[in-house]
Amino acid sequence: MRARIAVGMGALAALMACRPEPGYRDSDWGDETTATGSACERWVGHAEDAADATGLDVALIMGVMRVESSFREDAESGAGAVGLMQVMPSTGEHYGCDDLSDGESNVRCGARVLADYVRRVDGDVEYGLAAYNAGLANAQRWKRAGKRPANIDYVRHVLRYREQFADGGCAALGPGLRTWEGDGRASLKVTDDAE
């Protein structure tokens, strides 16, 4: 347990200092000091529509978009996830989603997937987010075993941005376009706050 905490604190210190650690790379999306505010504002209405359709909290959808893509419609992960909500094409197909390269469709699809995952883990938002990032079977296994999700850092990032959006809207989400590719086991992306 102590080793996990030390590693977590080291990663947190690197994030706060904005110094790249192994595994970090500059995003291909542009200058990392670019504010996400205007990009965020562009998608709020679509997140509200998706929230109405799924019963999810608008701030939760915005938190997912902030962590997954920094509100970049053309975001694509090394694993092949695409768009604002970083939906895998196979997942989109399974859920009958439209063109994932279209921002509005991607937000609708990602929200539909997340809402289904939250429902399938008995309404637990933390495990629903864990499922969104690392797969439903993993999240269900962690929940059944009473274990914290292995991707808890991802979950905490989304929940932090959810709270910030709920408290202050897009302006509270801040800039940051650095991504972390993780260790290959789960696609974990975190964004720096360039303060």
Residues catalogued as catalytic = 68
d(CA 19, CA 15): 7
Other CB atoms within 10 Å distance of the CB of residue 159 = 17
Residue 24: closest CA among 194, 193, 191: 191
Give the DSSP H/E element, type plus range, for residue 142: helix 136-144
Amino acid 157 reads H
Sign of CA dihedral 71, 92, 150, 120: positive
